[in-house]
Structure 1
Amino acid sequence: MEEASRPKEKTMEEAKGFVRRVLLFKFKAETAPDHIEQLIKDHSNLVNLVESLKSWHMGKDVSVKYSNEGFTHVIELTFESTEGIAAYMGHPAHLEMHERIWPHLEKIVVIDYKPTPLCN
């Protein structure tokens, strides 16, 4: 218990003001699994094309209680700032990817957040 009451040190991401974007994808039932894999692979290449995008991580849902409401893929992007997200949103590579993936999505959830320490 003593450990929890000590002040937390800021992580490097907190200190630098990094911003993360989490995307939850629910693909349309008619989208073939191999096509979904190719879209995700192509999306991952944005980290090589958009300067403000610092990292890209992806995972597939592994829920055992099926509380995912049909969302099957999660992508987490890291930017140095909210301005970096704005630059990403207007970048031609992102706009092209958006046009390719959007017709295959039934639903998407987007959340932007700044990593922060747990407040006591």
Structure 2
Amino acid sequence: MGGEGVKHIVLAKFKDDVSEEKINEFIKNYSDLVNLIEPLKAFQWGTELSASNMDQGFSHVFESSFESVQGLNEFVSDSHHIAFGKSYASIFDKLVIFDYNPTIISYPN
């Protein structure tokens, strides 16, 4: 049971009038949280690229990694994270936030 720490996934659907510059600013400031909040161990992001047309308008995914649920809880309640969230709340049409403990499956060679 269990896996490698805890993952915090954010799926973002930005409002239509949000500029690419504002999105890039959001991404830079999100990634900067790694330097400000100790429990945040890694951050990565990407854009939707599937041809399946099942993204429901969500264009970006953000993944943060933590060693434990306690670390995730410290991140969520950290003043830097709270201020960051408040400063960008108005740029989203919708967000999906999903936290989980990955289960690693090993396959024989």
Matched, 1:24 2:11: yes
State percent identity of aligned pairs: 32
Q: Normalising by structure 2, what TM-score?
A: 0.90
Name which of 16, 22, 27 aligns with 1:40. Answer: 27
Query: What is the deviation of 1:41?
Result: 1.1
Does residue 74 in structure 1 map to residue 61 in structure 2?
Answer: yes
Q: Normalising by structure 1, what TM-score?
A: 0.82
2:93 aligns to what SS in structure 1? strand
Question: Which string of whole-angstrom CA distances, capped at 9 and with x for unpartnered residues, describes residues 42-67 of structure 1?
Answer: 11111111000010010011121221
* Partner secondary structure for residue 90 of structure 2: helix
How many residues align structurally?
Answer: 107
Do structure 1's residue 113 and structure 2's residue 100 form an aligned pair?
yes
Larger Rg: 1 or 2? 1
Q: 1:87 aligns with which of 74, 81, 87?
A: 74
Note the alpha carbon deviations across 1:57-94, whole angstroms, 9 max, x for none: 10011121221101011011111111111100111110
Instruction: State the 4+ residue runs in structure 1 displaced beyond 2 angstroms.
Output: none
Q: Which runs of 5+ in 2 are unaligned?
A: none
RCO higher in structure (CA 8 A, sep ≥6): 2
